[in-house]
Structure 1
Amino acid sequence: MGNKIILFISIFILSACLSAQGLKKNTPENFTNPLRYGADPFMIKQEGKYYTIFSKDNGFTVTESRFLTKFEREEKVWTPPQNAWNSFNLWAPEIHPINGKWYIYYAASVHNGAPFYAQRTGVLESDSPFGPYIDKGKVYTGDDPEQKKDNCWAIDMTVLQHKGKNYAVWSGWERLHDHHDVDQYLYIAELINPWTVGKRVLLSKPELDWEKGDHIVLHEGPQILQHDNDIFIFYSTRGSWTKHYKMGQLRLKSSDSDPLVADSWIKSPEPVFQGTATVHGVGHASVTTSPDDKEHWIYYHSKKALDGGWDNREVYLQKFTFDKHGNPIFGAPKGRGELKRPSGEIEIENK
Structure 2
Amino acid sequence: MLDSYQRTLSNDPSDGEEWQVPYYLTPGTILPSVIRGEAVTWQVSLSGMLNDDAILLAPSYEMSAEFLLTASTSNEQYNFAVRVIGADHVWLAGYTRQPDSNPNVYSRFVASSLHLALNTRDNEFEPLNSGYGVLFPKADYSASTAGETRLLTEPRLFRRHPQGFGVLAKPLNYAGEALHAGELLYFETEDLVHYEEKGMIKLTDAEIEDFSCERDAAVQAYRIGWSEQGGRTYWVTTEDFIHFAPAKEGHEFPITQADVSISDANMAQLLALTTSEAEYLYKKLGRVRNVSVQAPTIMIRQGTTSPPIDSIRAAAHYSDGSISYKRMTVSEDELAALDLSKPGEYKLNARVVRTNFPYPMMRTRPDPFVLLYQGRYYFIATDDDGQRRIYIRSAETLEGLEDGRAAETLLWDGNLPSGERHGQHWAPELHVINGKLYCFLAISVNNDWRGVQAHVVELTGTDPMNPAHWDTPRRVLNRHGKFIADLADREHSISLDMTYFEHKGQSYVCWSQPVWFGDDRELASLYIATIHPDEPWRLTSDPVRICRNEYGWDRNGGAASGVSEGAYILKRDDRLFMVFSGSNVGPNYTVGILELIAEGDPLEPNAWRKSNYPLMHSLSLPGQYGPGHNMFVQDEHGDWYNVYHACGIDGGRRNASIRPLHWRFDGSPILDMRDEEDLLPELETITLTIKVQ
Q: TM-score range by the shorter chain?
A: 0.7 to 0.9
Q: Aligned match of 2:575 in 216, 230, 243?
A: 230
Relative contact order: is structure 1 or structure 2 higher (C-alpha 8 Å, sep ≥ 6)? 1
Q: Which has the larger radius of gyration?
A: 2
After superposition, where does 1:20-169 map in structure 2 within 5 Å? Answer: 30-37=356-363, 38-55=365-382, 58-71=388-401, 74-79=408-413, 82-112=417-447, 115-127=448-460, 128=462, 129-131=464-466, 132-140=469-477, 145-146=480-481, 151=486, 152-169=493-510
1:211 equivalent in alignment to 2:548: no
CA contact 1:285–1:301 (8 Å) conserved in 2: yes
* Displacement after TM superposition at 1:32 (Å): 2.6
Q: Aligned match of 1:289 in 613, 634, 644?
A: 634
CA distance in 1, matches of 2:482, 2:633: 38
Q: Quickly say closer, same or farther: Cα 1:197–1:291, change in 2 above 3 A.
A: same
1:196 corresponds to: 538
CA distance in 2, matches of 1:29, 1:206: 34
CA distance in 2, matches of 1:123, 1:279: 32
Question: Alignment partner of 1:169: what SS?
Answer: strand
* Displacement after TM superposition at 1:167 (Å): 0.7
CA distance in 2, matches of 1:109, 1:169: 19
- TM normalised by structure 2 equals 0.40
* Displacement after TM superposition at 1:239 (Å): 0.7
1:275 equivalent in alignment to 2:618: yes
Question: Alignment partner of 2:410: what SS?
Answer: strand
* Displacement after TM superposition at 1:237 (Å): 0.5
CA deviation string 1:91-136 (max 9, x = no partner): 1111111112111111111344xx5221111111114333511114
CA contact 1:279–1:333 (8 Å) conserved in 2: no
CA deviation string 1:188-247 (max 9, x = no partner): 011132111132111110122322232423101111111111111100011112x22110
* Displacement after TM superposition at 1:308 (Å): 4.8
CA distance in 2, matches of 1:149, 1:317: 33
1:184 equivalent in alignment to 2:518: no
CA distance in 2, matches of 1:150, 1:122: 11
* Displacement after TM superposition at 1:329 (Å): 1.6
2:595 corresponds to: 251
CA contact 2:661–2:673 (8 Å) conserved in 1: no
Question: Alignment partner of 2:584: what SS?
Answer: coil
CA distance in 2, matches of 1:267, 1:288: 22
* Displacement after TM superposition at 1:320 (Å): 2.2
2:267 corresponds to: none
One-letter amino acid of the counterpart of residue 32, structure 1: P
* Displacement after TM superposition at 1:49 (Å): 3.0
CA distance in 2, matches of 1:124, 1:292: 29
C-alpha RMSD of the superposition: 3.3
CA distance in 2, matches of 1:308, 1:267: 27
Question: Alignment partner of 2:380: what SS?
Answer: strand
After superposition, where does 1:330-349 map in structure 2 within 5 Å? Answer: 330-331=671-672
CA distance in 1, matches of 2:570, 2:355: 27
CA distance in 2, matches of 1:147, 1:121: 13
CA contact 2:357–2:658 (8 Å) conserved in 1: no
Q: Aligned match of 2:566 in 207, 221, 224?
A: 221
CA distance in 1, matches of 2:594, 2:576: 8
Q: Quickly say closer, same or farther: Cα 1:282–1:119, change in 2 above 3 A.
A: same
CA contact 1:83–1:110 (8 Å) conserved in 2: no
One-letter amino acid of the counterpart of residue 318, structure 1: R
Q: Quickly say closer, same or farther: Cα 1:29–1:322, change in 2 above 3 A.
A: closer
CA distance in 1, matches of 2:546, 2:449: 23
* Displacement after TM superposition at 1:176 (Å): 8.5
One-letter amino acid of the counterpart of residue 615, structure 2: V
Unaligned runs of 5+ in 2: 1-331, 337-349, 487-492, 682-693
* Displacement after TM superposition at 1:75 (Å): 3.1
Unaligned runs of 5+ in 1: 1-16, 341-351
One-letter amino acid of the counterpart of residue 553, structure 2: W
CA contact 1:43–1:51 (8 Å) conserved in 2: yes
* Displacement after TM superposition at 1:313 (Å): 0.9
CA distance in 1, matches of 2:567, 2:615: 14
Question: Alignment partner of 1:251: what SS?
Answer: strand
CA distance in 2, matches of 1:149, 1:218: 18
CA distance in 2, matches of 1:177, 1:306: 38
CA distance in 2, matches of 1:188, 1:149: 12
CA contact 2:642–2:660 (8 Å) conserved in 1: yes
1:344 corresponds to: none
Q: Quickly say closer, same or farther: Cα 1:177–1:104, change in 2 above 3 A.
A: farther
CA distance in 1, matches of 2:483, 2:400: 42
Question: Alignment partner of 1:33: what SS?
Answer: coil
* Displacement after TM superposition at 1:67 (Å): 1.0
Q: Quickly say closer, same or farther: Cα 1:87–1:148, change in 2 above 3 A.
A: closer
CA distance in 2, matches of 1:176, 1:87: 28
One-letter amino acid of the counterpart of residue 585, structure 2: S
2:642 corresponds to: 298
- Give the structure with the larger helix fraction: 1
Question: Alignment partner of 2:553: what SS?
Answer: helix
**Identity between Structure 1 and Structure 2 (%):** 27
CA deviation string 1:310-335 (max 9, x = no partner): xx11111111211232211223567x
- How many residues end up aligned between the 2 structures? 306
Q: Quickly say closer, same or farther: Cα 1:177–1:67, change in 2 above 3 A.
A: farther
CA distance in 1, matches of 2:644, 2:660: 11
Question: Alignment partner of 2:426: what SS?
Answer: strand
Question: Alignment partner of 1:117: what SS?
Answer: helix
CA distance in 2, matches of 1:28, 1:318: 11
CA contact 1:153–1:176 (8 Å) conserved in 2: no
